[in-house]
Structure 1
Amino acid sequence: MEGVDTSKKVDHDLRMFDIAANLSDESFQGIYHGKKAHEPDFEVVMNRARQYGVEKFLFSAGYIEDAVKSYDLATKSEDYFMTIGVHPCRATEVYKDEGTVETYHEKIEKTIEEHFVDKSKLVAVGECGLDYDRFHYADKDSQMAAFPFHFDMAEKYNLPMYLHSRATGLEFIDIVKKNRDKFPTGVVHSYTGDEEELKEILELDLYVGINGCSLKTEENCEIVKKIPLDRLMLETDCPYCDIRNSHFSSQYVKTKIPKVAKKKYNPEKMCKERNEPCTMIQVLEAVAGIKDVSEKEVAEAAWENTMKMFKLE
């Protein structure tokens, strides 16, 4: 998939909304692992995404400083939106400077009230949830403590939930069930769970976000087949979660996007070391191929679901 140009950009009647574009990440400032490789290229990246049919973007935030950066980026265009919350892998953030869950909750609400002048940019509470694959970032107790207050925020601001679940059995589901009356709807993004968890998510009337990490194995792709189109959303989770040649879903990818190593940075090509929103077209192609329906049908369903959930219709 790498280094092969394509003369075909997506059809103009395809429109996509990337619900997981982490554009506040340092790589879009040209910084990788603390070292600068090239100049900031946010606008270059966004323009490339538009060439491939991505029209709207959600900058998901996992802690307060990230949310402030995401808000500042979101004010650059009417097509940019953002979230605020504590990612489970950042759950220990709440205890920084001898803080507590309660004081961190207060800081988030203060940030919303004082920094977010345009409240319409904030369209969901999160990213929040549980991640049992990455206890090296945050232990289970910290994650469990940091998750519940998000439901109270969603209730207060009447916002949907932007949720994360990774290898949690049904503990994540149990917590969401107990709080389901507090929020209008939500999406479990970057879904990699099994059929049992998917069934529970759908019964809770939630949406499911799919990206490259959701499409790694044949088993993953069998799960994607079972997601109804009226519950589906698409995302890249960039700069992570690209579809790689080793992924089972790569057989369905048709659009080739040129890449180059960051050491040979060229603004006309993607950096190999990071994913970008332009690869939404590849996620779309993979999901359409797996479900054996047209790209147009998948794109429109995901677009309508996203606009509806985030109250942007």
Structure 2
Amino acid sequence: MAEATSDQPNSVSTTAPIAPPLTSYTPRYIDIGINLADPIFRGRYHGKSRHPDDLQAVVGRAVEVGCTKLIVTGSSFKSSRDALKLAKEFPGIVFATAGIHPCSSSIFSPSHHKHHDESQSEGEDEAEHTPACDPDPSQPIPDGDGVDLARSEKIIADLADLITRARKDFPSSSSNPGELVAFGEFGLDYDRLHYCSKEVQLHSFSAQLRLAASLTPQLPLFLHSRAAHADFVRLLKEAFGPRLERLEKGGVVHSFTGTVDEMRELMDLGLYIGVNGCSFKTAENCEVVKEIELSRLMLETDGPWCEVRPSHEGWKYLVEFEARAKAAAAAAAAAAPSTAQGQAGTPENQQQQQQGKKKNQKKDPEVLERYKTVKKEKWEEGAMVKGRNEPCTIERIAKIVAGIKGVSIEEVCEAAWANTVKVFGLES
């Protein structure tokens, strides 16, 4: 794949598995988790407009790299409704989930003073749909506040109504999966108890699981689990049986950052594992990814968060992929020299090239960018925004997974595609 412009350099690993040679395969992707309803994709940051709405271009870049289906995450009532609107705006490309994220679950608390349709978490910036993905152990909300049971009943009834209306307005069929393709995002997150206490998260997850199990037909589950594996699995089994035998459509635990043993238990229960940039931060994370069976793998970006960074352990696999691509291109050029290449190889032209390099000391990037990237303050049409992860970067996720597992891009992409189509009914 052709890529252009720049990124930060990083050292090349000498111990990673050797992936098979590059092929002419054209990858295809489904981003199972993209927070495309977040106002940041409309040019709004923390409630203020910083640049023009460029959502159309964001979707266009995704399609250009082969990411032709985007599942937009609903994490609250507002974001779920907005995700469904996007599915209508981009038919056949965008699909939606609907649920209440653990970090949005303070709406079940008696101390939450806003209507659950208005916001997702007390104190959270209402202009943003999704909380940042990094853990924050500071000032956790303590247990003891309890749950407002009357409010809880109303929340679950309203969520059931939202799902019913979405299915009625956008019905699924043998040739059309419908706009609403999963229940969620919901689950537990003990890394971010500053958004919602543990006791309220447990109630939120359990109540939504009961609703998910009662739907006819059921929806696949779009699940979230951070530092809460034991409680997470326990509540799933309570709702769907010891082997999740009553879970009709399956589900995916997205943005996985748990241990190898936790991942294997989830796979043994028949669940799928979604990976993104947060899944590659450490050597331990990468070891987990190495052990994920291709038959249980799904790919995602979780944009605007969870981008792959040069500080991540997984970055070195991108560097290695780029080095192999450059070597392959150089070998191809050497095998079929042209007149222009012959002139470029003369001592005179080599000397001119060296002099040009001395004038411009900027080092060639070890990982190239497909699209130009600028700061939001310097936004320009056609460019990506620095720090705002987009679905088009899913190709990096596939490259890293392939490098970690020592398999081809084709194997990774085709496995993830087949798994995602199977679970979410995206055959058409």
Normalised TM-score (structure 1): 0.94
Partner SS state of residue 45, structure 1: helix
Answering whether residue 100 of structure 2 is matched by residue 86 of structure 1, we say yes
Q: Tell me if structure 2 keeps the 8 A contact 1:235–1:280.
A: yes
For residues 28 and 271 of structure 2, what CA distance do their matches in structure 1 show? 22
Query: What does residue 145 of structure 1 align with?
Result: 203
Query: What does residue 177 of structure 1 align with?
Result: 237
Q: Tell me if structure 1 keeps the 8 A contact 2:185–2:224.
A: yes
Query: What does residue 122 of structure 2 align with?
Result: none
Query: What does residue 232 of structure 1 align with?
Result: 297
Partner SS state of residue 248, structure 1: coil
**Which structure 2 residues correspond to residues 10-21 of structure 1 after superposition, within 5 A?**
13-21=26-34
Aligned-CA RMSD value: 1.9
For residues 78 and 104 of structure 2, what CA distance do their matches in structure 1 show? 12
Misfit runs of 4+, over 6 Å:
none
For residues 302 and 381 of structure 2, what CA distance do their matches in structure 1 show? 21
Choose the corresponding residue for 1:104, options 130, 155, 160: 155
For residues 4 and 375 of structure 2, what CA distance do their matches in structure 1 show? 10
For residues 414 and 72 of structure 2, what CA distance do their matches in structure 1 show? 21
Please list the CA deviations of residues 221-280 of structure 1 after superposition, one character each: whole Å capped at 9, or x if unmatched.
000000000000000000000000100111112452331100000232210131000000
Query: What does residue 256 of structure 1 align with?
Result: 369
**Which structure 2 residues correspond to residues 193-212 of structure 1 after superposition, within 5 A?**
193-212=258-277
Partner SS state of residue 75, structure 1: helix
Answering whether residue 67 of structure 2 is matched by residue 54 of structure 1, we say yes
Structure 2 residue identity aligned to 1:227: I
Q: Tell me if structure 2 keeps the 8 A contact 1:12–1:53.
A: no
Structure 1 residue identity aligned to 2:61: R
Residue 20 (structure 1) shift: 0.5
164-173 vs 132-141, which deviates more? 164-173
Larger radius of gyration: 2
Residue 181 (structure 1) shift: 3.9
Structure 2 residue identity aligned to 1:141: E
Normalised TM-score (structure 2): 0.69
Query: What does residue 310 of structure 1 align with?
Result: 424
For residues 62 and 190 of structure 1, what CA distance do their matches in structure 2 show? 14
Q: Tell me if structure 2 keeps the 8 A contact 1:125–1:153.
A: no
Name stretches of at least 5 consecutive residues in structure 2 with no aligned partner. Answer: 8-22, 116-147, 172-177, 323-367
Residue 304 (structure 1) shift: 0.2
Structure 2 residue identity aligned to 1:90: S
Structure 2 residue identity aligned to 1:106: A
Residue 94 (structure 1) shift: 3.5
Partner SS state of residue 162, structure 1: strand
For residues 380 and 398 of structure 2, what CA distance do their matches in structure 1 show? 26
Partner SS state of residue 223, structure 2: strand
Query: What does residue 393 of structure 2 align with?
Result: 279
